[in-house]
Structure 1
Amino acid sequence: MIDNDVTVVVATRNRAGRLMETMPMHEGPVILVDNASDDGTPDLIEAAFPQVRVVRLEDNRGAAARNAGVELAATEFVAFADDDSYWTAGSLRKAAGLLRDFPRTGLLCAQVLVGPEQFLDPISAEMARAPLGVPDDAPGPAVLGFLSCAAVVRRSAFLQAGGFNPTLHVYGEEALLAMDMAAAGWLLSYTPELTVRHLPEPAGRDPRARRRRQARNDLLTAMLRRPPRVVARTAARAWRHDRGAVTDAARLLPWALRRRHPLPTRVERDLCTLTSR
C-alpha cells in the first residue's frame, strides 16, 4: 500500500546504476536531488521513472542537497534515502501513523539491515539498547543521532532546525541536526518496527578522505554546540588520528565562532550520558 503522506527525498551524485535498482522500491512520491552529476544521472532517471521529480543542482551540496527536497515536498512528513537504500514495504505508512500519534516527535530512525544478508547495522543495535530511556510521549527509545538513510522527519521540525548544514557537506552531518532538533524541543526516537535496506557497494569511496572529513565535522560540530572541554577532547582525538582534520577545522574557526550556540543543559546532559558509556 502506497502512503502519499510521506515524500521520499533521495540525494545523489553519479550513481545512476544503483538508482536504477533502488528507485522502483520507493513507496509514495519521490524527489531526487542531483548533486551536479556529470554521468547523465538526471536524464536517465527522468526517462526511466517519469513519476519522480528530479531536481538538478548546479553544484555539489553534499548532504545539504536534501534540504532542497524537503523544501519542495508537499507532504507533512519526509523520509530520506540514499541511492543505495530503500524503505521496506509498509514502513512509511507506519512512520506517518507514529508521527501523528506522537506529536512531540520530530524524527524517527528505523532499523537498518545491511547487504543481501540483512545484517543489523551496529548503530541500530546500539540504539536498541536505549541508553537514554524511552520517554512516555515517544514511540521508542530516545536518540541524539541518526542515520540519514533511515530517518523520517516531520517536515516542520526539520525546517525549524535549519536542515543539514551545507558547510559540513558529507559524513557526520546528522549529529548537528539531531542536536538542533532536540534543542528546539523535538523528540527523536529509534523505531525498529520501521526497516530500511542498505545495499552498499563493495568498493566504496576513498576511506582515508572519509575519515578525515568525518573527524573535521566532528570537531566543527563540537565548536558549534559543545562546551570547551568537549571541543578540546574532540580536537585531541582528531589530532591523534589525522592532524589534517584539525587543520581543516581550524580554517573554519571564525565561521564556527560566529554560529556558536551552546546546547540547553538537558541536551548536553544526554550527550554526556551517551559518550560516557
Structure 2
Amino acid sequence: MVSYNTRELTLRALETLLAEIGDRSIQVIVVDNASSDGSAQAIASAFPEVTLIESETNLGFAKANNLAAESVVGEWLLLLNPDTETRPGMLDAFDAFVSAHPERGIIGGRTFYPDGSLNPYSCARRMTVWSLLCAAFGLSRAFPGSSIFNPEQMGGWARNSVKEVDIVIGCLCFIRADIWARLGGFDKAFFMYGEDADLCLRARELGARPIISPDICIVHHVGASTPVRSDKLIDLMRAKATLVTRHFSPATRPLGKLLLWAWAFNRYLASRVGAAEDRDVWAEVWASRADWLKGY
C-alpha cells in the first residue's frame, strides 16, 4: 500500500484489510510518500504490526510499490490503494479463486463506489487506435455502455462474471511474486498512472493472462490523493503517451499520439462552453500538451 496525504482513508483501508486476515500469514507493508498530513505517524501508532517505510520524498506510485515489494517473502503480492475498504470475505474469495484457477498469475476483482454503485475501473482492455478514436471524438462518453464504442472500459459488462482481461488496475491487483520478479515490478519511469497497464501488458508477453473474479470486492474512494484535477489529467495523458510509445506498433504510434492530441483538443474546445472549472482544467491540459505528449 502506498500512502500520500490520505491519513484517515489509509487508516480505514488498513483497518478493513487487517480485519480479514484471520489466521493467514500475511505481511502488510505501507510506503508513505512523504505525506504532510501526519499519515506516517498515525499508521505507526494505530498499526504497529504493519511494516511502515517512510520515504523522505514522493517517489510516486510505481517506485514506492517496487520499494515495498523488496520486503515481500510470500507467494503472492496484493497491491491495494490506500483509499480502499476491503469488503468482508475478500481474501476468502481470493483463496477460493486461486484454488480453482491455479494457473492464473494476475487476479483482480470488482470495485464499488462508497454509495454501493459499481466502479468499472478495476480492469480494462488495452489501448488501440480504435479505442483512442472513440475517446478523441466523444463516442466513449456518448455510449458508455457499448462494448464497441467504449472498448477500453468494456462497456456493458457489469464485472459480475469471471472474465479474462488485458489489464488489472493497480488499486486491487493480486500478482504472483515470481511474475513480479521476472518483470522487475513496475517500470520506474512511470510516476503515477499507466504503470499497471504496462505491467499487465508485459506480463501477457510472458504468458500471464490477467483475470477478474466478481467475488473479490472492495470499495474505492477514487482519486483521493490527487484532488487537483488538471494535475491528475496531465499525469494520465503523459502515461497514455508512454503506453502508446511502448505498446503500439511502430506503424501506429504516430496515429496514437495524434489521437491523444485530438482528444485533448476536443475536450478543450468542449470545455469552452462548460463550467468555469472544466475550462480551467482543460486549458491547463491543452497548454501542456507539448510536455505530456513526450511521455515519461
TM-score range, shorter chain: 0.7 to 0.9
What's 1:25 paired with? 16
Match of 2:35 among 34, 37, 43: 37
The answer to whether structure 1 residue 94 and structure 2 residue 138 are counterparts is no
Q: How far apart, in 1, do the equivalents of 2:214 and 2:235 lie?
A: 29
Structure 1 residue 172 displacement after superposition: 2.4
Match of 1:147 among 157, 163, 169: 169
- State percent identity of aligned pairs: 21
Structure 1 residue 47 displacement after superposition: 0.8
Structure 1 residue 203 displacement after superposition: 9.6
Counterpart AA for 1:232:
P
Paired residue secondary structure (1:218): helix
Paired residue secondary structure (1:60): coil
Contact 1:106-1:158 within 8 A present in 2 as well: no
TM-score, structure 1 normalization: 0.76
Match of 2:193 among 171, 176, 180: 171
Structure 1 residue 251 displacement after superposition: 7.2
Paired residue secondary structure (2:164): coil
**Could you say if the C-alpha distance between residues 82 and 165 of structure 1 is closer, same or farther in structure 2, counting changes exceeding 3 Å?**
same
**Could you say if the C-alpha distance between residues 230 and 121 of structure 1 is closer, same or farther in structure 2, counting changes exceeding 3 Å?**
farther
What's 1:48 paired with? 46
What's 1:274 paired with? none
| Within-5 A mapping of 1:59-98 | 59-64=57-62, 65-98=64-97
Q: How far apart, in 2, do the equivalents of 1:17 and 1:143 lie?
A: 32
Q: How far apart, in 1, do the equivalents of 2:232 and 2:243 lie?
A: 16
Paired residue secondary structure (2:15): helix
Q: How far apart, in 1, do the equivalents of 2:106 and 2:224 lie?
A: 30
| Within-5 A mapping of 1:237-256 | 237-240=259-262, 241=264, 242=286, 244-250=288-294
CA deviation digits over 1:103-144, x for unaligned, max 9?
3311111001111x21111335978x8x89xxxxxx931111
Q: How far apart, in 2, do the equivalents of 1:182 and 1:126 lie?
A: 14
Number of corresponding residues: 236
Paired residue secondary structure (2:88): coil
Question: Where does the alignment leave 5 or more consecutive residues of structure 1 unmatched?
Answer: 1-9, 133-138, 253-277
CA deviation digits over 1:191-250, x for unaligned, max 9?
111111113478952111211211111111221232023322221122221362443343
**Could you say if the C-alpha distance between residues 120 and 70 of structure 1 is closer, same or farther in structure 2, counting changes exceeding 3 Å?**
same
| Within-5 A mapping of 1:1-277 | 10-26=1-17, 27-28=20-21, 29-64=27-62, 65-115=64-114, 117-123=115-121, 140-200=162-222, 205-240=227-262, 241=264, 242=286, 244-250=288-294
TM-score, structure 2 normalization: 0.71
Q: How far apart, in 1, do the equivalents of 2:6 and 2:240 lie?
A: 27
Q: How far apart, in 2, do the equivalents of 1:80 and 1:94 lie?
A: 16
Q: How far apart, in 2, do the equivalents of 1:216 and 1:251 lie?
A: 5
Contact 2:83-2:224 within 8 A present in 1 as well: no
**Could you say if the C-alpha distance between residues 202 and 11 of structure 1 is closer, same or farther in structure 2, counting changes exceeding 3 Å?**
closer
**Could you say if the C-alpha distance between residues 97 and 156 of structure 1 is closer, same or farther in structure 2, counting changes exceeding 3 Å?**
farther
**Could you say if the C-alpha distance between residues 246 and 162 of structure 1 is closer, same or farther in structure 2, counting changes exceeding 3 Å?**
farther
Q: How far apart, in 2, do the equivalents of 1:74 and 1:58 lie?
A: 25
Contact 1:34-1:57 within 8 A present in 2 as well: yes
Q: How far apart, in 2, do the equivalents of 1:243 and 1:235 lie?
A: 16
Structure possessing the higher relative contact order (Cα contacts under 8 Å, 6 or more residues apart):
2
Contact 1:219-1:231 within 8 A present in 2 as well: no
Counterpart AA for 1:63:
F
Counterpart AA for 1:84:
D
Q: How far apart, in 1, do the equivalents of 2:287 and 2:249 lie?
A: 22
Q: How far apart, in 1, do the equivalents of 2:72 and 2:123 lie?
A: 31
Q: How far apart, in 1, do the equivalents of 2:241 and 2:187 lie?
A: 14
Counterpart AA for 2:76:
F
